[in-house]
Structure 1
Amino acid sequence: MTDIGKQSGLKIVCEACGSLSIKPVDPAAPDATPIHCGRCNTVRGTLADLHDLARRSTDVFEF
């Protein structure tokens, strides 16, 4: 499968509460640092997932 069809491990919309917000983390933290929902604190992915999403971003997201 190519990178085009690859989904990021980061959940853009929280599956627990539907929020789009995430809690800020230090960008220099280890890749395995969990990214938490800004509303309910559910883990939405890792910092590596967030970095991957940012690298592959085309400013268009499917919800």
Structure 2
Amino acid sequence: MNMREKLREIRHNLRGILMQWLLLQALRVAPPGGARGDLAATLKGFFERECRRLRETRK
């Protein structure tokens, strides 16, 4: 594995960690329903789609 591939993998992993952290922050402050709940649901949907996309691109 050359340096470019290693950096790409690190970037990929950091992006996944950041998305998980953002989702957790949104869910932590979000009561069910209301604007915050909508934000959490939106972020959760985005996070799940992004994870699926990243998994598919790694195959």
Which protein shows a greater Rg?
2
Report which of the two has the higher share of strand.
Answer: 1
Answer 1 or 2: higher relative contact order, Cα 8 Å, separation at least 6.
Answer: 1
